[in-house]
Amino acid sequence: MIVIFGASGKVGRATAAALRSSGQAVRAVVRNAQQGSGLMQLGCEMAIADLLDEASVASAMRGADAVQILCPVPIADAHPANTMHRMIDVTVAALRANPPARVLALSDYGAELESGTGITMLFHALEMQLKPAVQNLTLLRAAEHMQNWARVLPAALSTGILPSLHHPLSKRFPTVAAQDVGRVAAELLLDSGHANALRTVSVEGPQRVSAPDVARTLSELSGREIAAHALPRDAWAPTLLRAGLSAEHAKLITDLYDTHNAGLIDAQVFGERRFGTTQLSEVLASMLPSNATAER
């Protein structure tokens, strides 16, 4: 039995689907029953768990041969770092109590850095706590998800301006489709050749892109002229606050992009690398409203 936490998300669903296609028994862990209908159609066993409750998490892991761990950054939370640290503590305690044969943890590019990375520091904390607790651990560090551009698509389509925190605009950065992360995760969960070892794998898409590449692709897909715009540094926090994030969450994001723009976040030099096959254009097209797609 392979247990997938966060199975209703884009990465978790892709992992579950790939595992089921290969004939594996999968237990999909979700927060509520409404999230499970599509996963049940895949043939997954369902489990509901509260990631802040150790008994709930331990119950979801019971009998697992392998577990895919996800500790998501809480979005609508005034103190997201504190909440995620509690999730990590709960998850690690459950794993220590009844360790499965293999654990794969979803992490981020830059998680090896010990300071200054904002949100990614939370994944650093996850990795640091898992390493002494899990004998056979795979850390799957993903580049920035292509799906993250969904947050600014409505503004870009309505104004013709694609705001970007990537500076300078010409900088090409790694990005990856969430479904490719899930498929790579499934491959790694099925690979039993690294028993009793720590494995670090970085995954990104088929090519690196810049913000103007994203804007150009959106223009081609929508038939509207869209240009990338480097959002001034002093506008980052106010923009994020207007988007509904808490002050602490906004600070985690601004710290991350300061470090990213300094060129300090990338695939780790020492470790395996995998590359997805999904193109940026495929992901952006899937996120556009049907009336925003250019006729071809």
Contact assessment for residue 44 and residue 20, using Cβ atoms and an 8 Å cutoff = yes
267 Cβ contact list (under 8 Å, min separation 6): 109, 141, 143, 174, 202, 204, 273
- Average pLDDT, integer, range 171-177: 97
- Average pLDDT, integer, range 208-222: 97
**68 lies in a domain?**
yes
| Buried residues in 266-296 as b, exposed as e (16+ CB within 10 A) | ebbeeeeebebebbbeebbbeebeeebeeee
**pLDDT value at residue 216:** 97
**31 lies in a domain?**
yes
**169 lies in a domain?**
no
Q: How confident is the model at residue 291 (pLDDT cuts 50, 70, 90)?
A: low
In this predicted structure, the answer to whether residue 181 has a pLDDT above a threshold of 50 is yes
DSSP H helices, 191-246, are 211-222, 236-242
- Average pLDDT, integer, range 247-262: 96
**pLDDT value at residue 194:** 67
In this predicted structure, the answer to whether residue 253 has a pLDDT above a threshold of 50 is yes
256 vs 243: which has the higher pLDDT: 256
Domain count across the chain: 1
**pLDDT value at residue 33:** 80
In this predicted structure, the answer to whether residue 155 has a pLDDT above a threshold of 60 is yes
Residue type, 160: G
Helix H or strand E encompassing 20: helix 10-21
**Lowest-confidence region among 73-77, 78-82, 141-145, 290-294:** 290-294
- Average pLDDT, integer, range 186-192: 91
- From 285, 160, 284, 153, select the one nearest 225 (Cα to Cα): 160
In this predicted structure, the answer to whether residue 66 has a pLDDT above a threshold of 90 is yes
100-134 confidence digits (pLDDT tens): 999 999 999 999 999 999 999 999 999 999 999 99
47 Cβ contact list (under 8 Å, min separation 6): 3, 27, 28, 29, 30, 59, 60
DSSP 173: B
**227 lies in a domain?**
no
Mean pLDDT of the chain: 93
CATH number of the structural domain spanning residue 186: 3.40.50.720
Helix H or strand E encompassing 257: helix 247-261
Contact assessment for residue 149 and residue 284, using Cβ atoms and an 8 Å cutoff = yes
Task: At 36, list the tokens.
Answer: 């499970």
User: Coil, strand or helix: which one is 106?
Assistant: strand
- What are the Cα distances from residue 58, in Å, to 19, 50, 131? 22, 10, 18
**pLDDT value at residue 293:** 58
In this predicted structure, the answer to whether residue 60 has a pLDDT above a threshold of 90 is yes
Contact assessment for residue 18 and residue 183, using Cβ atoms and an 8 Å cutoff = yes
**110 lies in a domain?**
yes
Task: Return the ∠ at Cα 56 (arms to 54 and 57), rounded to 5°.
Answer: 65
Q: How far apart are CA 66 and CA 44, in angstroms?
A: 15
**136 lies in a domain?**
yes
**Lowest-confidence region among 160-164, 195-199, 202-206:** 195-199
**213 lies in a domain?**
no
32-41 confidence digits (pLDDT tens): 888 877 899 9
**84 lies in a domain?**
yes
- The range of the structural domain enclosing residue 111 comes to 2-145+175-205+266-277
**pTM > 0.85:** yes
Q: How confident is the model at residue 295 (pLDDT cuts 50, 70, 90)?
A: very low
